[in-house]
Structure 1
Amino acid sequence: MMSMSVNAGRRVEDFNRGWKFNLGNVPEAKAAAFDDSGWRGVKLPHDWSVELSFTNNAGGCTAWLPGGIGWYRKTFMVPAASQGKTVRVDFDGVYNNSDVWINGRHLGHRPYGYTPFSYDLSEHLDYGGENTIVVKADRSRFMDSRWYPGSGIYRNVKLVTLNKVRIKQHGVFITTPEVTSKCAIVQMDVTLENAVDGTVLKTVVIDPAGNQVADGLCEVVPDELTHQVSRITLHVSTPRLWDVDSPNLYKAVSSVLVGGQVVDECETVFGIRSIRYDAEEGFFLNGKNTLLKGVCLHHDGGCVGAAVPDGVWERRLRILKEGGCNAIRTAHNPPSEEFLDLCDRMGFLVQDEIFDEWFNPKDKKNNFELKEEDERTLGYSESYGAWAERDLKAMVLRDRNHPCIIMWSTGNEIEWTYPGYADATGYWLPENKGKIDYYWDEPPYSLVELKQRFLESKERQGKFVLAHQAADLSRWVKELDTSRPVTANLVMPSVSHFSGYADTLDIVGYSYRTVNYDWGHRHYPEKMILGTENWVQWEEWKAVLEKPFIPGIFVWTGINYMGESAEWPKRGNSSGMLDTAGFKRPNWWFFKTFWQESEPMVYIATQPLNDSNYLLENGIVVENPARPRTRKWGWPEVSPRWNHGAGEMTYVELYSNCEETELFLNGRSLGVRELATSEDRLLKWAVPFEAGELKAVGRTDGKETASRTLRTAGRPAAVSAVADRSGLRADGCDVAHLEIQMVDANGIPVRHMDQSVRFTIEGDARNIGVDNGSDRSVQDFQSDVCETHEGRCLMVLQAGDAPGPIQVTVSAEGLASAVVALEQN
């Protein structure tokens, strides 16, 4: 099914169907006459690496999945009536080092894999006949990133046909410079191409209910400029504001008329909202002080790799929202256009980030400044000088109408690659080793000493000056958008504040430097400080509550991601609040207790005491000094299960936002813990295991407000399968998630045993990925069989094109099967 939108004078076609793919270098494939009949048919978006098997011959930094060179070809018709018009192909992202040909003619090269780009096909087309477009993606440097990037045309592609007089691509820019509950000013700058005498620009604003609420008309007087900007200022009465709880969206319909006839028309979705930042009081959305309960996210979707269907992101974002999250940092690159559309609709505040490295490369294998040269790890730094401005501006132009975006980020932990910065801090000097800690101690030197040390180490910075590059990036952003601030994630802010780097930023982002909040505010009170990368730990949020000048944090990470691994067979990073299958991890529940304070809750997690970070001393649970609980990226391997050895001393950890919580084992009270006396908000017990029921009861003001129960499970008896929706759209794109859990004869989840399950599908739908969520699982994602982890796994089901019933049978040897029925319309 080909989707197409046709406005007056403008046709936008879904260009994702009908492609052929070959993995392996075939240079002759760029010729239009090349025979691709033996190639495999694919539908875009497509990520070839996630289709392959994990191998320790690939790099752990990119998830132990191979790279390579891939070729794509598509033959398509262009109507004869399109001759004389402009026909353009729009790519939202190709990873990476792409080259594109049309009918054998080379159109261009694009090294960066995360930004959109377009090519004008008009001069090279056979109108009324067949045309062949060819794309090559070169990921032969398969360790070119510090995380899993995917491979190929992994985002959407569109074919756009336009008249000569038209609105420029990304040529509508909407801001709301004045917003009150009574009236909002909507300012529109529209860039036209090839305006002629008699050109008129008309705009209509439609509110969330579909009503026309404003309109404006502007006569365009042609001048010698090919691109001409016209401004229309409109007033919307009693606007419905966009915010995190009510993400109201408006639509502007812009029409270009020549001689009274519409020759082009485009629709722009936007939101009416105001943002304000105060270095003393924090962030304000629509005049209301709002704390950023943020998470950092990489762009992979687990078993579907980098080619993530909208429905996969929608489920993940919904679960994060349920846990209280309201903000996202797109670490460390621009996301897809559709991801931002979801954030607009669902009410997330977004920090849109562009680069992880500038001129100086990072060591992908060792995750720090470059320690050794390796051809396989060379990435964007080689292309930065020639492409940085174009790539940054491509992001800003595409994204600047999204109300969800509240700031732009120009880079992530760039100071790593400049030795002078690390030298000046002094944390790693031999004389300070063992005396001070980079993460927990303020700088060991006074500000005067830091500045002197930096001056002495400047010659080690090399050819490039970080502050100069940062100034370029900030200037390029502001050439296109001054309605939002510019930030960056600084890993060495004690030096960056005075080196000139922070001077280029409106907001100074701190990476794991909570200890420096007071230091930075004391020395640079005019600068807003924000936690742009923080651990998923209570201390990080506690600092926000205690310091009004800190508007919030972005924890690392919201979801486990693939890559950034140094050991086989660990395929990814497990610092997230959700695992790669999108299942909630214990730290998601922990953060929910204070990110959703109005919702009373308790959660129980357990672990054998000998495996935990705790000891039992005189009947009191205390931290084990030989194995202390991490306060950084990790979380103890606790689990919501009540299955342990008979009489085994078991560590029980409760998360609660109730005033007090009482724990019961088979009806016997094991005592009460008060939240106010638990500095780390972890309520702890050590309990000899006894099969049966473990129950927690939370009370506030003496009344029971929440409870949770764990029950001992028997052997697996059946497979339980639950879909997150009952139907699918017959569009070839829609998805449903089937969550699988082994249960015992009483329906109790079995989390202490694992088994392989098999998926069988009847109907026009397909399995696009299976995952058990474990970062140590290297089973194929593209499979009809999945080994469970903690008794559970996930299958992502994608719709076909034919309406009708879909039935999925989930079976496991010796267990009763589960059948899930969906209707596809």
Structure 2
Amino acid sequence: MKRITFVLWALMAIMPLAAADNSRIVQNFNFDWRFHAGDVADAHSVSFDDDGWQSVVVPHDFQISQPWVAPAKGEKADNSDIASNVKSRLSSRGFKEMGIGWYRKTFTPDEAWKGKRILLDFEGIMLVGDVYLNGERVGGTEYGYLGFDIDVSKLLKFGQPNVVAVKANTQNPENSRWYTGGGLFRDVNLIVTDPQQHFTRHPLYITTPKVSEAQATVMVQAEMACYLRVKDFKVNTKIVDGDGNTVSDVTNDIPYNRGQKVNEYIVDSVTINSPRLWSCETPHLYKAIVSILRPDGTIADQVCENFGVRWFEYSPEFGFKLNGKKVLFKGNANHHTLGALGAAAYPRAMEKRIQLLKQFGFNHIRTSHNPYSKSFLDLCDKYGMLVVDELYDKWLTQYAGGRTEWLNLWQHDVPEFVRRDRNHPSVVMWSLGNELQQYWSLPFADWGVTPYRLQRELLHRYDNTRPVTVAMHPRGRNLKTDSLPAPLALETDIASYNYRYMYFPGDSRRFPNMIFYQSEANTAMMGPNFFEMDLDKVVGLAYWGMIDYLGESNGWPAKGWVQGAFDVSLEPKPIAYLLWSMFKPDDPVVHIGIIDGDDNTVWNDVKVGSQRMSDHWNRKPGSSLSLYTYTNADEVELLVNGKSIGVKKNTTNPKGRNKIKWDNVKYEPGYIEAVAKKGGKVVARHKIETTTDAVALQATPDNEAWKADGQDLQHVRICAVDKKGRRVQGAQNDITFTVEGPAEIVGVINGDMNSEELTVGNKRRLYKGTATVILRSTREAGKVTLVATTDGLKKVKQVYKTN
């Protein structure tokens, strides 16, 4: 039987750093940009006047503030086909107009940088981009999800202002299948190093050939440049644990070949005794500080990264083990966007989502269908999230930026992708693409087999510690017989099937070495598509789109996907508690979900639409209701106003497990309560009450440690409550927000994907009684006062502090 064991000492992305002697300077370049929506002649020119442009802070998504583009009358407004009219095709991309945005930044470089190596580093430009310095094009990107740097050492003008201009282009509607956003949507940095001795881009590769609970052997490899006439040079490697204790501090002499100025070197082998292992429950992180020393002993360059010690293995016998223990992927596959913020990659917004997923029992995220930001992987390292790291959607020029042939991109993209992410402990599988094998038009005309082999070979040049996969389209089986997997599925290390988990048993019998992962699972079959798998043997699954997102609308006026377990404002829907019951079997839960209607949405020939549900008890007098109680307990008793209407047992049948159906429940004002028991004892309750009219607003902030760094966010949830302080889900008031102090509003959102409102400005309507306003700090610490007002309700005023 096939068994794949991987051992890796995994690291976080290189941290912004200035060494003690300023050997390496990483300057945040996110501030003081000017922006203009639309193409402008000569916008790259030094003499161009940008005084009238908007002042923005990066990360920035210029599409999110654009108006919605409704389909013309009579046009198809969903994703069921690709219509010729642009407005119809905008359904996938959030009903926003495609276009160009220009950014300009003027700065004067420090005179002390003369003679240094100076890089402009862009983590991403959406969807394609061009960079100009002082009027000349100096670089750019054809695939905006990956970063790049530009050596501007000899191009900067010292003692005078320099102008960086960036042209970002979202390309055409058909160049993505989802809302991408547009612009400088990730971090920009300026990096200054020693010109003669320095680390290259993404220089470290750190592996552990042996790991146990008793001891870990760590190999540290680095790519470095040296232009000195020396026999060898010195590299210091320091390891620090999570408590700040130094585990190892060693300086080694590295033999130097002057004929190869840039080379990869093994710089150290370190033994850690009794290592604190990284896991989903205990994501312990260490820190590695690696320094190149000059002949006089001073630091020429230095990089600092966090890392975790762990080992994992895959097998058809048990799926996946982490540190020797079976772990089932309980996951979410989502696009990279962040609700009201669009594509702007704010770490705090990502952290909020990861915390929410962890609360409901998730331990896995698939980065569908592109690399996420470095800060996202840092957070997955911190919170113990297992990541399937995905590079592309389909291997077609149409979906890879659209400006350059895909065949000319992957040789550059694979190394950038792998070198950037290979040291994160959270990353446990590489995915090179999504739903590919249905296309004969893929390069080399063999349904993706040869492109996969080529990319995998290149990937292995930079990392061989993880398996490699691609996600299979649900319709893509063997051309001759549907009873066999597609040839591409037989090539991959892990067989990743979107939705078609029912093929696992048959394919396993024919090909016993296959290891199975359900790379997308649908909400409509939630429960059966989990419990019907052999959970002891599969890797696990990732539910598609568990957080509602912009783009991929099934029809106007919906601006995006609505089949998630959490709405776009991050409010849990009742079905989220079914996930809780499945993913956290030892954490008792019960939750009432009342059926309001059906959604028969079909996607890729798969029914993805689920029942529309709510969890309030303000109903039409005399109505009769059907509902579910989601639970992992043995039984549930349902009561209306204290009167029992029955007790029902949970079932072990996968089709109905953890979701108990109740029909013909008569509505009576008051309350309904579900009482869950296990072993005869009450272990969980859920009670919902009939509320009276809303009388006031309440505000709940989410970030006690709000930093005054100009980037950190405060999400404030506004809720309409009645005189007893209960959420009134029927409230739909228009809320106006005002802010005083060192912060500004960067987003407003509720859970209504059909709303005509934009997610920018200072107003938002309540939906099911709630809305959220998102505040961004400035670089000045102080008190921030938020006031939320609406007609007829008591306003709310709160003061927060940034530090």
What is the TM-score with the length of structure 1 in the denominator? 0.88
**2:630 paired residue among 655, 665, 680:** 655
Amino acid at match of 1:822: Y
Contact 1:494 1:520 in 2 (8 A): no
Quick one: distance in 2 between partners of 1:766 and 1:668? 50
* Distance apart, 1:598 and its partner CA: 1.2
Quick one: distance in 1 between partners of 2:414 and 2:347? 24
Amino acid at match of 1:571: K
**2:582 paired residue among 594, 606, 609:** 594
**2:307 paired residue among 251, 260, 270:** 270
Amino acid at match of 1:37: D
* Distance apart, 1:820 and its partner CA: 2.2
Structure 1 residue runs without a partner (length 5+): 363-377, 421-460, 614-624
Residue 40 (structure 1) aligned with residue 40 (structure 2): no
> Considering only aligned residues, what root-mean-square deviation do their CA atoms show, in Å?
2.2
* Distance apart, 1:235 and its partner CA: 0.5
Aligned to 2:84: none
Quick one: distance in 2 between partners of 1:717 and 1:804? 31
Contact 1:79 1:129 in 2 (8 A): no
Quick one: distance in 2 between partners of 1:187 and 1:119? 30
* Distance apart, 1:463 and its partner CA: 5.2
Alignment deviations for residues 104-160 of structure 1 (CA, whole Å, 9 cap, x no partner): 221123111100111111111112332111111122424421111010000000100
* Distance apart, 1:811 and its partner CA: 1.4
Amino acid at match of 2:28: D
Residue 475 (structure 1) aligned with residue 463 (structure 2): no
Contact 1:474 1:505 in 2 (8 A): no
Quick one: distance in 2 between partners of 1:189 and 1:278? 29
Aligned to 1:13: 27
Amino acid at match of 1:484: R
For residues 93-104 of structure 1, what are the structure 2 equivalents within 5 Å?
93-104=124-135
* Distance apart, 1:763 and its partner CA: 1.4
Change in Cα spacing, 1:24 to 1:531, as seen in structure 2 (3 Å) is same
Partner-residue secondary structure (3-state), 1:46: coil
Partner-residue secondary structure (3-state), 2:532: helix
Q: Give 1 or 2: higher helix fraction.
A: 1
Aligned to 1:438: none
Quick one: distance in 2 between partners of 1:475 and 1:243? 29
Amino acid at match of 1:18: D
Aligned to 1:200: 234
Residue 812 (structure 1) aligned with residue 787 (structure 2): no
Alignment deviations for residues 78-117 of structure 1 (CA, whole Å, 9 cap, x no partner): 1222122110011111002211111122112311110011
> Which piece of structure 1 moves more, 690-699 or 107-116?
107-116
Aligned to 2:530: 541
Aligned to 2:83: none
Contact 2:702 2:714 in 1 (8 A): yes
Residue 518 (structure 1) aligned with residue 511 (structure 2): no
Amino acid at match of 2:735: V
* Distance apart, 1:218 and its partner CA: 2.5
Quick one: distance in 1 between partners of 2:731 and 2:174? 35
Aligned to 1:739: 717
**2:276 paired residue among 223, 236, 240:** 240
Quick one: distance in 2 between partners of 1:418 and 1:713? 58
Quick one: distance in 2 between partners of 1:727 and 1:361? 43
Change in Cα spacing, 1:500 to 1:218, as seen in structure 2 (3 Å) is farther
* Distance apart, 1:316 and its partner CA: 1.0
Residue 178 (structure 1) aligned with residue 206 (structure 2): no
Contact 2:437 2:486 in 1 (8 A): no
Amino acid at match of 2:251: L
Residue 646 (structure 1) aligned with residue 621 (structure 2): yes
* Distance apart, 1:221 and its partner CA: 2.2
Quick one: distance in 1 between partners of 2:756 and 2:372? 26
* Distance apart, 1:822 and its partner CA: 0.8
Aligned to 1:349: 386
Alignment deviations for residues 159-212 of structure 1 (CA, whole Å, 9 cap, x no partner): 000112111121111112211111001111111112531411110111111111
Quick one: distance in 2 between partners of 1:393 and 1:315? 30
Alignment deviations for residues 251-271 of structure 1 (CA, whole Å, 9 cap, x no partner): 111111121222111112211
Contact 2:485 2:507 in 1 (8 A): no
Contact 2:170 2:181 in 1 (8 A): no
> Which piece of structure 1 moves more, 299-308 or 801-810?
801-810
Contact 1:174 1:270 in 2 (8 A): no
Quick one: distance in 2 between partners of 1:689 and 1:589? 23
* Distance apart, 1:745 and its partner CA: 2.0
**2:263 paired residue among 203, 213, 228:** 228
Contact 2:127 2:180 in 1 (8 A): no
Residue 553 (structure 1) aligned with residue 575 (structure 2): no
Contact 1:663 1:695 in 2 (8 A): yes
Aligned to 2:122: 91
Amino acid at match of 1:168: T
Aligned to 2:67: 53
- Give the number of aligned pairs: 751
Contact 1:111 1:383 in 2 (8 A): no
Residue 604 (structure 1) aligned with residue 636 (structure 2): no
Quick one: distance in 2 between partners of 1:721 and 1:330? 32
**1:730 paired residue among 708, 712, 715:** 708
- Taking only the aligned residue pairs, the percentage that are identical comes to 31
Quick one: distance in 2 between partners of 1:253 and 1:517? 45
Aligned to 1:795: 773
Partner-residue secondary structure (3-state), 2:27: strand
**2:729 paired residue among 751, 760, 783:** 751
* Distance apart, 1:18 and its partner CA: 1.2
Contact 2:496 2:516 in 1 (8 A): yes
Contact 1:612 1:651 in 2 (8 A): no
Aligned to 2:354: 317
Quick one: distance in 2 between partners of 1:741 and 1:510? 41
Quick one: distance in 2 between partners of 1:751 and 1:599? 27
**2:639 paired residue among 629, 647, 664:** 664
Change in Cα spacing, 1:495 to 1:725, as seen in structure 2 (3 Å) is same
Aligned to 2:178: 147
* Distance apart, 1:50 and its partner CA: 0.3
Partner-residue secondary structure (3-state), 2:728: coil
Aligned to 2:5: none
For residues 576-591 of structure 1, what are the structure 2 equivalents within 5 Å?
576-591=564-579
Quick one: distance in 2 between partners of 1:251 and 1:98? 34
Aligned to 1:414: 436
* Distance apart, 1:566 and its partner CA: 4.4
Residue 682 (structure 1) aligned with residue 714 (structure 2): no
**2:555 paired residue among 531, 546, 567:** 567
Quick one: distance in 2 between partners of 1:32 and 1:644? 64
Aligned to 1:495: 478
